[in-house]
Chain A
Amino acid sequence: MASRSAPRFLNPISDEVTDDHAVYASSTDVVALTAPVAAFLEFCDHERIRPVLLTGPGVRLTAACATMLTDIRGFWAVHGPDGVLEAATGRPVTSFADLWLPHEAAPPGVVHDGVVSITLDAYVRHRADNATRIGVVAELAAGALGVALPHRWGVWEPFGRRWDTDAMTAFLRAQMPQTGPVHAVGEETTFLTQRVGRTRRGLLEHLRFSARPASGEDLHGQATALLARLEEAADVEIAVVTTRTSEADGTVRPGGYPATAPLAAVLGPRVTHHLGIDTAALAERHRVSSLGRARTPSTLIDFGGTDNPWHRLLDLGLALEPDRVLSTLGVEVPDAG
């Protein structure tokens, strides 16, 4: 039986740690959100240092790994015969700090065509009772997009549990009042991440669901139809639909992809009411419509028909005042300083 004593090593889950960043050098061809990779990302997030994922040049990141790396503003560098490069642009870096220090815009590198998926980012309210099931909103989204359900889920890859909303709900319930993320994957690019937190007004689920829709035509139309379905069948607070471009199996590889673009958003009836949204005023700058109940309408915004939909989305976000949105969601906003 081994005994326990003080360690003589720098860090068991990172290959390099400094005051401002940590490095995980992966040796695999496909870097997945395995327990070691997740532990590294959580460590960096907790310590508020920048995570750097260092891989070989021919490597791909799974959707779960890429999503979590992006969510905590991590960096991806590749180490090849030409030295260390920024993965997205191929820009040489002489030290990891070059990844985040100000620099001249890199010339356009390789941009992969990839396949386009629709990504739903939704905050949905649930009653805090035994009848609530987490996963049904994802099933709703899959149905609206005409794609198969995710078929397996887990916290770390390889995701090895069969899709089962009862089992997922029980797993998440055990972590309340605030859960970590669980992920699920399905065919092609289908991927989701969901978290749940208890708020003053019941449970708040944050779902990110991404899938390649059955039809690649009229993505804006599919996005607005998805949001309308969500608004009709779930207690949605805020949801935004964007594009996501990846390889056909959902992975991403070094190089760029066509930029993500917002397609549409919906503000549920509670948010619409609490923010006092003036649909007519918003309609001057956005393609806005009301849907749902006449007395407690939701607000649907279509970002189609604009040259730069991100500008429109940011404009919308500023118009709604982010702190007020968080307050409406029941999310505590820490005091500055």
Chain B
Amino acid sequence: MPAELAMLHETAPAPAEILEAFGKVCPGGSALELRDGQITVLMDDLGRHVMTIFPSVPIEMDVRSVVHDLELAEAPVAGVRSWIDVTIPLGDDGARERAARQVAQLTNGWLHVREGGEPHV
């Protein structure tokens, strides 16, 4: 996707918390759940696609040992226990990424921009 981001949390937020945060960031926005709620598409008040949220991936170890581009991240990485992929569709002028960052912050997390990211294998 044009932008691949991740929200990092010390405790994985419940899907309802993410929706509530998005409601504050984008009043009048809406959400569509796909695949039994595994994928959540968030739209603004005009129905435009803002971002897509994926399930939380549990992290049981120092996240730096599984992803080694985290010097780019703003999170205190040692405490991260949840990785949530976020994708943003083509044509973002920065507003969608700002919205994703706000959602991350409102759920006590941090946004990690994966462009040029380098997960371990």
With A and B bound together, what is the CA distance between A32 and B117 in angstroms? 10
Q: Which of B3, B22, B34, B59 contacts A12 (CB 8 A)?
A: B34
B104 to chain A minimum Cβ distance, whole angstroms, is: 16
Contact residues in A for B48 (Cβ distance below 8 Å):
8-9
Given the contacts A28-B116, A36-B54, A12 and B121 also touching, CB distance less than 8 Å: no
CB proximity of B5 to chain A, nearest CB, Å = 10
A136 CB-CB contact with B under 8 Å: no
Q: Which of B22, B43, B63 contacts A8 (CB 8 A)?
A: B43
How extensive is the interface on chain B, given as a class?
A: 35 or more
Determine if B119 and A8 form an interchain contact, defined as CB atoms under 8 angstroms apart.
no
Is B29 part of the binding interface, using a Cβ–Cβ cutoff of 8 Å? Answer: yes
Indicate if the CB atoms of B47 and A7 lie closer than 8 Å. Answer: yes
Q: Closest CB of chain B to A188's CB: distance in Å?
A: 9
Partner of A2, one of B30, B55, B61, B119: B30
Flag the segment in A155-163, A294-302, A306-314 that touches B: A155-163
Q: At the interface, yes or no: B78 with Cβ under 8 Å from chain A?
A: no
**B45-80 CB contact bits vs A (8 Å, 1 = yes)?**
011110010110111110100110000000000000
Interface core residue of B57, B85, B114, B121 (most chain A CB under 10 Å): B121
Q: Which of A19-27, A97-105, A212-220 contacts B (4 or more CB under 8 A)?
A: A19-27
Tell me the bound Cα distance from A249 to B68 in angstroms.
Answer: 13
Q: Which residues of B contact A2 (CB under 8 A)?
A: 19-20, 22-23, 26, 29-31, 42
CA distance A282 to B33 in the complex (A): 55
Given A4-B33, A8-B49, A27-B2, answer yes or no on A13-B23 (Cβ-Cβ < 8 Å): no
Residues of chain B from 1 to 25 with CB closer than 8 A to chain A in the complex: 1-4, 19-20, 22-23
Chain B CB within 8 A of A3 CB? yes
Chain B CB within 8 A of A260 CB = no
> In this assembly, does A185 line the interface, its C-beta being within 8 Å of a C-beta of chain B?
yes
Instruction: Tell me the bound Cα distance from A13 to B114 in angstroms.
Output: 16
Q: What B residues does A159 contact at CB under 8 A?
A: 66
Known: A12-B41, A12-B87. 14 other contacts (CB 8 A): A2-B19, A2-B31, A3-B31, A4-B30, A9-B48, A29-B117, A30-B118, A34-B54, A34-B85, A35-B57, A156-B85, A157-B57, A185-B121, A191-B121
Q: A residues engaging B (CB < 8 A)? A: 1-9, 12-13, 15, 24-30, 32, 34-36, 39, 62-64, 152, 154-162, 185, 191, 249-251
B: residues with CB less than 8 A from A are 1-4, 19-20, 22-23, 26, 29-35, 38-39, 41-43, 46-49, 52, 54-55, 57-61, 63, 66-67, 83, 85, 87, 89-90, 114-121
